[in-house]
Amino acid sequence: MEIDTLLRKALEQPAEERLDFVIRRADSDPHLRDAVHALLDADESATQFLEEPVRIDPRTTREMFLLIALRAMQASPHDEVSQP
């Protein structure tokens, strides 16, 4: 069985049953089993990453804005991009 086929079939299973499903299907092929497990882990990590809200510290954001503004004010005229 190919990695993509087993991965697709595993993703059709309920999340809590996926690892056992892969073990049953790829028991005789440890490389296939490990590859699909790694892809399932990556998929889970990506899903969790996208579900978590971005946390921005307003103080850090303000400091970054001020630093960028300060650098822009200190830039020499030669640093500016010429207008067409």
Mean pLDDT, each 10-residue run in order, the chain (84 residues): 89 92 92 91 69 64 71 66 50
For residue 17, what pLDDT is reported?
94
Identify whether 83 is part of a domain: no
For residue 72, what pLDDT is reported?
75
Identify whether 23 is part of a domain: yes
For residue 26, what pLDDT is reported?
92
Identify whether 37 is part of a domain: yes
**Residues spanned by the domain of 32:** 3-78
How far apart CA 43 and CA 65 sit, in angstroms, is 34
Number of domains composing the chain:
1
Chain-centroid distance of CA 79 in Å reads: 35
Identify whether 32 is part of a domain: yes
For residue 80, what pLDDT is reported?
56
For residue 42, what pLDDT is reported?
85
For residue 31, what pLDDT is reported?
92
Identify whether 54 is part of a domain: yes
